[in-house]
Amino acid sequence: MTATKTRLTSLRAGTDCADSERAAGALYERINQPGLAAVLFFASPSMDFEGLARAMDGRFGCPTIGCTTAGEISSERGHERGTVVAASIASSRLRVHSAMLGPEDVGDPERLRRATRTLLDRREMGLTNDRCFAMVISDGLSMAEERLAAGVAATLGEIPLVGGSAGDDLAFRSTWVALNGRVGTGGAVLSVVETEHPFEIFQAHHFTPTDARLVITRADPATRRVYEINGERAATGYARAVGIEVGALSPRVFSSHPVMLKVGGNYYIRSIQQVNEDGSLTFYCAIDNGLVLRLAEGRGVTACLGEEMRRIRERIPDLSLTIGFDCVLRRLELMERGLQGEAAGLMRDANLIGFSTYGEQINGLHVNQTITGVALGNAA
């Protein structure tokens, strides 16, 4: 890292090359730069992800952080599938400290606390906590994101946390994360970033609660599976609230009609992953007996996206990079409504790279059907 690199610069690129070595080579040619602090890459599950992780680590002499996706996103190419998108960050005034967390770390509160504390102790720039943020990329099928976000946030204190859950194009078989050539499942990659450059953590969604109440009358929190809503089979109770037949339930219906839970005076989205053969519903977030949910209605996914992109530009006028974690159900809604082109236009000036997730993290919460992320400025 060069001591003269006082401004933050970011380069972004994408490739649809299916060969991991060639894909890494193409990305290296386009985003390598002096003074690298980190490289992020988000890859289609159709790739040889382990090979790609090794190839990226072998080419870049800095931390490399990545995951599999439910779709890739960039300002230049909008929402895509079957690709790899990547960004490099270079600055002498930014440091990234990362660790691979295994299932045993996420499942044990004390181990998770120690791992987070170790990263905090590795900080070297002597900055105050308001000049730091944390980022987590987790296994989207671990069903442990609630414990992960809450445990990490408790140790971080006032340092903000943002992140997303890896995907596998709605196959729901396996999702993977990577750090420095090593891949893992069941856990997460946690990073603590210290920087003298301006940054902004953000979260947005486009739903409001209606008066339609759905009471969870039988559920298995361990598997995020709901068996009964309002005293009847879950799929039946949900379909009745939406006003459709059970046979019409699909991911696109779930994307347009999520439910919301009130926590601490605010409503948060709880999205449905799939309907099961027995009429139960599997959620992307933790769910429990007795919870009172409300059916949500949307006010326009692109309107929300445009407002957030404009707000980021206002807060960070010297914007260099936006890292975005965007729920896959938002992608499905864009597809259903034919709005992919409009969404791509709204992101064009955001210098954005990201992926479609199986869930999003913001501070101590694991949420659904939102876009979360961090915007980085290049000012010295």
pLDDT given for residue 2 in this prediction: 41
User: Who has greater pLDDT, 214 or 4?
Assistant: 214
The residue written with tokens 């414990």 in the block is 147
Q: What percent of the chain has pLDDT over 90?
A: 91
For the chain, what percent of residues have pLDDT higher than 70?
98
Sort 110 into a burial class: Cβ within 10 Å, 0-12 / 13-18 / 19+. Answer: exposed
CB 39 within 8 A of CB 181: no
Helix ranges, 32-127 (H): 49-59, 103-107, 109-121
What's the confidence (pLDDT) of residue 158?
96
- The model's pLDDT over 131-166, given as tens digits with 9 standing for 90+, comes to 999 999 999 999 999 999 999 999 999 999 999 999
Token pair for 187: 């856990």
Amino acid symbol at 102? G
Helices and strands per DSSP (H, E), number in the chain: 10, 26
CB within 8 Å of 42: residues ≥ 6 apart:
66, 67, 69, 72, 73, 84, 85, 86, 353, 354, 355
- Sheet of 371-377: strand order equals 78-80, 72-74, 352-357, 319-327, 371-377, 199-204
**Lookup: tokens for 209:** 């609660």
Averaged over 26-48, what is the pLDDT?
A: 97
DSSP 134: E
Q: How far apart are CA 367 and CA 334, in angstroms?
A: 19
pLDDT at 266: 86
pLDDT higher than 80, residue 281: yes
Task: For residues 225-242, give the mean pLDDT.
Answer: 97
What is the structure's pLDDT at 231?
Answer: 96
DSSP code at position 142: S
Note if the pTM is more than 0.85: yes
Over residues 282-308, the mean pLDDT reads 92
Q: What pLDDT was estimated at residue 6? A: 79
pLDDT, one tens digit per residue, over 179-221 is 999 999 999 999 999 999 999 999 999 999 999 999 999 999 9
Q: What is the pLDDT of residue 140?
A: 96
Joined tokens for residue 315: 């807060």
The answer regarding whether domain 207-298 maps to CATH 3.40.50 reads no
Q: Are 17 and 23 in contact (CB under 8 A)?
A: yes
Find out whether 346 and 306 touch, Cβ atoms under 8 Å.
Answer: yes
- Residue from 57, 49, 62, 226 nearest 139 by CA: 49
pLDDT confidence tier of residue 3, bands split at 50, 70 and 90: very low
Q: Which has the closest alpha carbon to 187: 113, 146, 137, 151?
A: 137
Q: What is the pLDDT of residue 4?
A: 52
Instruction: Output the pLDDT for position 5.
Output: 58
pLDDT at 264: 82
The residues of the chain that CATH labels 2.40.30 are 207-298
Token couple for 366? 């694991």
- Distances from the Cα of 350 to the Cαs of 213, 305, 320, 343, 380, in angstroms? 37, 11, 8, 12, 19
pLDDT at 286: 87
Between the CA of residue 252 and those of 77, 175, 179, 304, 329, what are the distances in Å? Answer: 23, 21, 33, 19, 7
